[in-house]
């Protein structure tokens, strides 16, 4: 693979590749995932390569710092397809010496059996959707694996990949703070350097949303969710895995570089059904439905359904919205440069700082742990319109 130069260049680019297929649809999931009886693997490999080539023609000379295979369930992809896409990316761009190549995986025994081949294909980081360490709660979440199978997959992943992360969902019905603290302590004992810890949310269009509408599922009280969030921050910080973003925790240096590219408002190309991209001041979105994406690709040479220039003011606001999710916060002078004007209300920032919700050091603005709990409300107050 071609590599060049140190990280941190203005030419840096992240690449997201979406594999839209799952074995079944989880009741909480609002991601662009689809169940199909049969998949023409060769056709999909070539289609993704073609969509990737379209982005590469528009982004020549860039250095790729990360590749992220998301879904759907990309661990269902044949390793040969993963290898072909990594090879295509390396042919189109120069890979950074420490390029991060992440693949999301379900912790089933069938998919874990492919981990060695995926590593040989070039994947060096895996994100496992374990979701719970309790069999009853896994059943509630509609997961096909049980705890034992999930932990076996985790062990296999740790023996194969240089970097391993896994996801857990909390604030589940009837889950007490003691329940969650015990589960979190157990998760931390497995020794991974990154955890993604999400509160259960009832998303529109999901099976859980339909259950909630029928009165069969009650969302957790927001105050209970806030208490569990604070508990999560305390336990992970004590274990030297502090939050670097609202829901993501890592040892220093083990943060997801790909996701940091999003939150720091860097350029990224998105290919595959439903993928979003942000390149050269333009927003792109692919067709969501796999069949529509394939048809558009055959017709136009790409799967884009929408592409538009991002106005300067919109860039500044988006960068502020994304950056305040991070513990490091945002540089207000950068936001001002993007927007072409002052994008935050300084008086609101001063007042919220006095309330202990924000911290302003020079031109660096960040949210406190208490502020992250009410970030949407904070943003509504500080963004200048």
CATH code for the domain defined by 312-382:
1.10.10.920
Q: Is the pLDDT of residue 4 over 70?
A: no
Are 51 and 269 in contact by the 8 Å Cβ rule? The answer is no
Nearest by Cα to 357 from 369, 345, 348, 341: 369
Instruction: Please give the share of the chain, as a percent, with pLDDT higher than 90.
Output: 91
Interatomic CA distance for residues 260 and 291, integer angstroms:
31
Burial of 137 (0-12, 13-18, 19+ CB in 10 A): buried
Distance CA 261, CA 270 (A): 13
Q: One fold for both 12-263 and 312-382?
A: no
User: For residues 196 and 212, what is the distance between their CA atoms, to the nearest angstrom?
Assistant: 25
Give CA–CA dist 196/32, Å, rounded. 19
Q: Count CB atoms within 10 A of the CB of residue 61.
A: 8
What pLDDT score does 110 carry? 77
Q: What is the mean pLDDT of residues 105-109?
A: 88
The share of the chain scoring above pLDDT 70, in percent, equals: 97
Mean pLDDT of the chain: 94
Categorize the per-residue pLDDT at 111 as very low, low, confident or very high, splitting at 50, 70 and 90: confident
pLDDT of residue 109: 76
Q: Are 272 and 304 in contact (CB under 8 A)?
A: no
Report yes or no: 220 and 171 within 8 Å, Cβ to Cβ.
yes
Closest CA to 346 of 356, 332, 357: 332
**Which strands form 282-286's sheet, in the order they lie side by side?**
243-245, 248-250, 194-199, 163-170, 125-131, 94-105, 63-71, 12-19, 268-271, 276-279, 282-286, 304-309
Distances (CA, A) of 153 to 27, 51, 52, 145: 22, 32, 30, 10
**Residue 5's pLDDT band (cuts 50, 70, 90):** very low
pLDDT of residue 30: 86
d(CA 278, CA 290): 21
HSE-CB of 26 using CA atoms within 13 angstroms: 26
CA distance 100 to 15: 10
CA distance linking residue 318 with residue 94, whole number of Å: 28
pLDDT interval class at 10 (50, 70, 90): low
Q: Which residue has the tokens 């500044």?
A: 316
12-263: CATH number: 3.20.20.70
Determine contact, residues 207/27, Cβ cutoff 8 Å: yes
pLDDT of amino acid 8 = 46
Is the pLDDT at 2 greater than 50? The verdict is no
What is residue 384's predicted lDDT score, i.e. its pLDDT?
Answer: 85
pLDDT on residue 9: 58
Q: What is the pLDDT of residues 171-214, one digit of tens each?
A: 999 999 999 999 999 999 999 999 999 999 999 999 999 999 99
Q: Could you state, in order of their start, the residue ranges of all structural domains in the chain?
A: 12-263, 312-382
If you average pLDDT over residues 84-98, what whole number do you get?
A: 97
Interval 228-277: pLDDT, tens = 999 999 999 999 999 999 999 999 999 999 999 999 999 999 999 999 99
pLDDT in tens, 352-375: 999 999 999 999 999 999 999 999
C-alpha 101/C-alpha 123 separation (Å) is: 5
**pTM for this entry:** 0.94
């Amino acid at each position: 693979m071609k590599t060049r130069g140190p990280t941190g260049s203005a030419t840096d680019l992240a690449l997201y590749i979406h594999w839209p297929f799952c074995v079944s649809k989880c009741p909480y999931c609002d991601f662009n995932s689809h169940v199909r009886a049969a998949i023409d693997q060769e056709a999909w490999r070539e289609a993704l390569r073609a969509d990737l080539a379209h982005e590469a023609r528009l982004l020549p000379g860039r250095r790729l710092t990360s590749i992220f295979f998301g879904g759907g369930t990309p661990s269902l992809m044949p390793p040969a397809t993963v290898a072909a896409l990594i090879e295509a990316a390396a042919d189109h761009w120069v890979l950074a010496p420490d390029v991060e190549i992440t693949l999301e995986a379900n912790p089933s025994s069938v998919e874990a059996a492919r981990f060695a081949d995926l590593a040989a294909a070039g994947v060096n980081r895996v994100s496992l959707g374990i979701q719970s360490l309790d069999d009853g709660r896994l059943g509630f979440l509609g997961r096909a694996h049980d705890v034992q199978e999930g932990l076996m997959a985790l062990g296999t992943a740790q023996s194969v990949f240089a970097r391993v992360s896994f996801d857990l969902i909390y604030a589940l019905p009837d889950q007490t703070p003691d329940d969650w603290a015990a589960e979190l302590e157990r998760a931390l004992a497995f020794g991974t350097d990154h955890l993604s810890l999400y509160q259960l949310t009832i998303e529109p269009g999901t099976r859980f949303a339909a259950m909630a509408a029928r009165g069969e599922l009650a969302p957790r009280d927001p105050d209970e969710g806030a208490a569990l969030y604070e508990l999560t921050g305390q336990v992970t910080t004590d274990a030297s895995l502090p939050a670097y973003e609202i829901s993501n925790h890592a040892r220093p240096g083990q943060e997801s570089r790909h996701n940091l590219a999003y939150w720091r408002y860097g350029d990224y190309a998105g290919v595959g059904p439903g993928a979003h991209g942000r390149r050269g001041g333009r927003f792109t979105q692919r067709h969501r439905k796999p069949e529509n994406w394939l048809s558009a690709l055959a017709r136009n040479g790409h799967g884009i359904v929408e592409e538009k220039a991002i106005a300067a003011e919109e860039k500044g606001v988006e960068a502020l919205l994304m950056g305040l999710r991070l513990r490091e916060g945002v540089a207000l002078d950068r936001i001002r440069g993007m927007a072409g004007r002052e994008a935050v209300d300084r008086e609101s920032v001063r007042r919220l700082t006095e309330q202990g919700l924000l911290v302003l050091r020079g031109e660096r603005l960040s949210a406190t742990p208490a502020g992250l709990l009410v970030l949407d409300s904070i943003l509504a107050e500080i963004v200048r319109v």
